Amino acid sequence: MKIRSLVSIDDLTTGEIMKILKLAAEFEKDPVQEILHGKVVATLFFEPSTRTRLSFESAVNKLGGKVIGFTDSSTSSVSKGETLNDTIRTVNNYVDMIVMRHPIEGSARYASEISTVPVINAGDGANQHPTQTLLDLYSILKTQGSLDNLNICMVGDLKYGRTVHSLLMAMSRWNTSFNFIAPEELRMPDEYKLYLDNIGLKYNETAELQGIIDQADIIYMTRVQKERFSDPIEYEKVKNAYVLHDHMLSGTKPGMRILHPLPRVNEINPDVDSNAKAYYFEQALNGVYTRQAIICTLLGLK
Ligand code: CP
């Protein structure tokens, strides 16, 4: 039997995505269920995380499973020189599923090709973060009532932000109008614009935040990814490119919601947090239900 992993959002059909979102809604109503009794999930985090790791672990715990793993590869045998190949071939003997975050693009695909158990990509470098995308889709559907005909403004680090790359690929399945708002140095990579060109979806690119956000159904803010810059001076130049303040939201649509995968640094001023349009902490909560749905789907338990 083929092992079902989730490495890229394109590993799922639109029907499968909608099924996961429906299942997530069921878990939101009834989150504690003994579906994973006797199952063990490994969380292997070679890069820091708060939301992804803890929401996966919360999801497994609520489903009656157990979690093992590491949050810092320096405490694993990787620090002695063990390869990713050997780590995966060892850990897959102990668990029913591996959730892995790694700084190298393509590492999750590589792990999924070696592993005898499903591998979930919890972020591979600047490439993809498909489970974040599923919780983003869940948050968009919940707040907008539909995934179709929406205007999405993606703001900030569109070059290195893996969450916007996965979200673009997912939302391109519906009739989405994209606005890409980024400084010159952090523009959306050509490969993703080509992806939209090939399916005939239009997008607009600008460096200006004011005005354009008034058209938005979703403003998707992102952090400038300091850890991906080889030159700290280049990071300093763009780190405060956009800062969203409460007063900037006065002309935006009443139903518009602000999403952010978090963590934030400076890009959303705390005065936005009390605005009803701020949705990023609810979005993080949605991660638990969505990840419950993903785990059960990949293990064939729902
Ligand atoms: N959104 C997200 O990936 O957050 P963490 O880095 O805290 O997991």
Q: Are residues 135 and 280 in the same domain?
A: yes
Q: Are residues 161 and 122 in the same domain?
A: no
Cβ 144 vs Cβ 255: under 8 Å: yes
Q: Are residues 47 and 159 in the same domain?
A: no
- Is the CB–ligand 1 distance for residue 49 below 6 Å? yes
In single-letter form, the type of residue at position 249 comes to: L
Residue range 23-57, pLDDT digits in tens: 999 999 999 999 999 999 999 999 999 999 999 99
Minimum CA distance residue for ligand 1 atom 5: 49
Q: Are residues 113 and 164 in the same domain?
A: no
Lowest-confidence range among 71-80, 99-108, 267-276?
A: 71-80
Q: Are residues 77 and 185 in the same domain?
A: no
Q: Is the pLDDT of residue 69 over 70?
A: yes
- Ligand 1 centroid to Cα of residue 54, in Å, is 9
Tell me how far apart the alpha carbons of residues 302 and 288 are, in angstroms, rounded to a whole number: 16
Domain annotation covers residue 208: yes
Q: Are residues 138 and 275 in the same domain?
A: yes
Domain annotation covers residue 53: yes
Position 3 scores a pLDDT of 72
Instruction: Using the 3D structure, point to which of 84, 108, 128 is the last residue of a domain.
Output: 128
- Is the CB–ligand 1 distance for residue 51 below 6 Å? yes
Instruction: Using the 3D structure, point to which of 72, 104, 128 is the last residue of a domain.
Output: 128
Stretch 291-302: mean pLDDT: 96
Q: How confident is the model at residue 1 (pLDDT cuts 50, 70, 90)?
A: very low
Residue 33 neighbours by CB under 8 Å, 6+ apart: 27, 62, 63, 64
Residue range 174-217, pLDDT digits in tens: 999 999 999 999 999 999 999 999 999 989 999 999 889 999 99
Q: Is the pLDDT of residue 286 over 80?
A: yes
Range of the domain at 65: 32-128
Task: Ligand 1, residue 52: give the atom nearest the CA.
Answer: 8
Pocket test for ligand 1, best of 44, 45, 52 (most atoms within 8 A of CB): 52
Tell me how far apart the alpha carbons of residues 218 and 235 are, in angstroms, rounded to a whole number: 26
CATH value at residue 221:
3.40.50.1370
What's the total number of domains in the chain?
Answer: 2
Minimum CA distance residue for ligand 1 atom 1: 261
Position 38 scores a pLDDT of 97
Position 2 scores a pLDDT of 61
Domain annotation covers residue 15: no
Mean pLDDT for the chain? 95
Position 70 scores a pLDDT of 95
Domain annotation covers residue 210: yes
As given in the structure block, the two tokens for residue 119 are: 């591998």
Minimum CA distance residue for ligand 1 atom 6: 49
- Is the CB–ligand 1 distance for residue 52 below 6 Å? yes
Q: Are residues 74 and 177 in the same domain?
A: no
Residue range 116-161, pLDDT digits in tens: 999 999 999 989 999 999 999 999 999 999 999 999 999 999 999 9
Tell me how far apart the alpha carbons of residues 259 and 222 are, in angstroms, rounded to a whole number: 9
Minimum CA distance residue for ligand 1 atom 3: 52
Position 195 scores a pLDDT of 95
Pocket test for ligand 1, best of 45, 47, 49 (most atoms within 8 A of CB): 49
Q: Are residues 75 and 181 in the same domain?
A: no
Domain annotation covers residue 27: no
Q: Are residues 70 and 183 in the same domain?
A: no
Domain annotation covers residue 162: yes
Tell me how far apart the alpha carbons of residues 99 and 68 are, in angstroms, rounded to a whole number: 10
- Is the CB–ligand 1 distance for residue 50 below 6 Å? yes
Tell me how far apart the alpha carbons of residues 88 and 112 are, in angstroms, rounded to a whole number: 9
For 176, 250, 258, the CA distances from 254, given in Å and listed in that order, are: 19, 9, 12
Task: Ligand 1, residue 122: give the atom nearest the CA.
Answer: 3
- Ligand 1 centroid to Cα of residue 51, in Å, is 5
Q: Are residues 181 and 109 in the same domain?
A: no
